[in-house]
Amino acid sequence: DARVTQTPRHKVTEMGQEVTMRCQPILGHNTVFWYRQTMMQGLELLAYFRNRAPLDDSGMPKDRFSAEMPDATLATLKIQPSEPRDSAVYFCASGTGATDTQYFGPGTRLTVL
């Protein structure tokens, strides 16, 4: 049963610290999405990649957030420095591009104190 995996599942950190979240897309999927979920804003698209190239990162605060795909099996989302307002659940999703279905991982719950 192929699944998107995300690590860590939970992260508590202090304001100003660097946070790195990792995602392993389903093998063979060439599209990767990063979302942030909060009660107030719902699911917000931060960035997405096709064949490891960024297609759109307009939803991401550029001064502190960065997203990369070092290889086809790993996507990373980094926050530096982190702030309390970054506290949220961050989801990674992957897809094939041949269909419109996105497969979501279990999420990383980030708490910035």
Partner 1 sequence: GENVEQHPSTLSVQEGDSAVIKCTYSDSASNYFPWYKQELGKGPQLIIDIRSNVGEKKDQRIAVTLNKTAKHFSLHITETQPEDSAVYFCAASLSGGYQKVTFGIGTKLQVIP
Q: ∠ at Cα 107 (92, 78), nearest 5°?
A: 65
Would you count residue 96 as binding partner 1 (CB under 8 A)? Answer: yes
One of 21, 24, 75, 102 touching partner 1 (CB under 8 A): 102
One of 21, 48, 77, 79 touching partner 1 (CB under 8 A): 48
Is the link from the previous residue into 8 a cis peptide, with omega within 30 of 0?
Answer: yes
Would you count residue 42 as binding partner 1 (CB under 8 A)? Answer: yes
Would you count residue 81 as binding partner 1 (CB under 8 A)? Answer: no
Among 35, 34, 37, 73, smallest CA distance to 54 is for: 34
Would you count residue 14 as binding partner 1 (CB under 8 A)? Answer: no
Shortest Cβ 102–partner 1 spacing (Å): 7
One of 4, 46, 67, 69 touching partner 1 (CB under 8 A): 4
Q: ∠ at Cα 112 (50, 78), nearest 5°?
A: 25
Is the link from the previous residue into 81 a cis peptide, with omega within 30 of 0?
Answer: yes
The two structure tokens encoding residue 47: 């960035």
Nearer to partner 1, 51 or 80 (CB): 51
